[in-house]
Amino acid sequence: MLNINPIASSSLGNAYHITDGHCPILTEAGIPFKKLRIALDFQISNLSGCLVTHSHGDHSKAVPDLLKAGVDCYMTAGTAINLGVQYVHQVKIIEPQKQFHIGTWDVLPFRTEHHDIDGTLMDSVGFLIRSGSYKILFLTDSFYSEFYFDGCTHILCEANYAADLLEKSDMPESHKKRVIQSHFSLANVKDFLKACDLSRCQQIYLIHLSAGHSDAGRFKREVEELTGIPTFVCDE
């Protein structure tokens, strides 16, 4: 039976535990290793692998410790280089649009659009994860998606900010620009969902909300009104 556990989901750190009842995996490891071990009831060795979207610390902080614990971590070459782990045996280099397998899961990485602090485009990806009848989309830290997905049973999608809330904030204009160039807004999410076939979708998870530019109640309400699908907001 599928279980999705958002261990952490914010600008401070992200980690999501997913299992089909046979093969437990992580998507992201952006919290301290000690906190991750506690959340997993100290069963780190049970993990079949960890999928990492990119090298920013709120998505990769615990990767070095996971590798030391013998957990295979899947990431692009650019992410491995940025983290300085490209020569570690447990690092598995992946490429966008090239499917790979982790136990009972088939995983298809796809390119996302996320900028680094200096404005350069990162070597970042999202994941389409399948096992049996389950088809899970994981999309975060991207201001745009060139891909749309049909037949997903579960969607985990970033809803980082609302444009009106960001505009009203006292954040410097340069920081606002970087948010817009790096993250999915509520409007992005709604447009993206409208373009996907949601006929099989059972649950939507809104992830990676900004502490200052989001509204959990509003985001849940607007997405449920749009899709008619139970929506869960992960904002801790």
Q: Which of 167, 143, 117, 145 is nearest to 127 (CA)?
A: 145
Instruction: Share the mean pLDDT of the chain.
Output: 95
What percent of the chain has pLDDT above 90? 86
Task: Choose among 83, 26, 16: nearest CA to 50.
Answer: 26
CB 6 within 8 A of CB 234: yes
Q: What tens digit of pLDDT does each residue of 156-215 get?
A: 999 999 999 999 888 888 888 888 888 999 999 999 999 999 999 999 999 999 988 999
Could you give the CA distance from residue 204 to residue 193 in angstroms, rounded to a whole number? 10
Which architecture does CATH list for 3-233? 4-Layer Sandwich (3.60)
HSE-up of residue 53 (Cα within 13 Å, Cβ side): 30
Domain residue spans in the chain? Answer: 3-233
Name the pLDDT band for 129 (thresholds 50, 70, 90): very high
The mean pLDDT of 207-234, rounded to a whole number, is 96
Q: What does the DSSP 8-state code read for residue 121?
A: B
**Residue 93 confidence (pLDDT):** 98
Average pLDDT score over residue span 129-155: 96
Instruction: State both tokens at 9.
Output: 């989901």
pTM, 2 dp: 0.96
Residue 213 tokens read as 């530019």
| Out of 55-64, 109-118, 122-131, 149-158, least confident range | 109-118
| Per-residue pLDDT tens over the stretch 39-54 | 999 999 999 999 999 9
DSSP-based three-state secondary structure for 79: helix
By the 10 Å C-beta count (0-12 exposed, 13-18 middle, 19+ buried), 154 is classed as buried
Q: Distance between CA atoms of 175 and 118, rounded to whole angstroms?
A: 11
Q: How far apart are CA 114 and CA 58, in angstroms?
A: 14
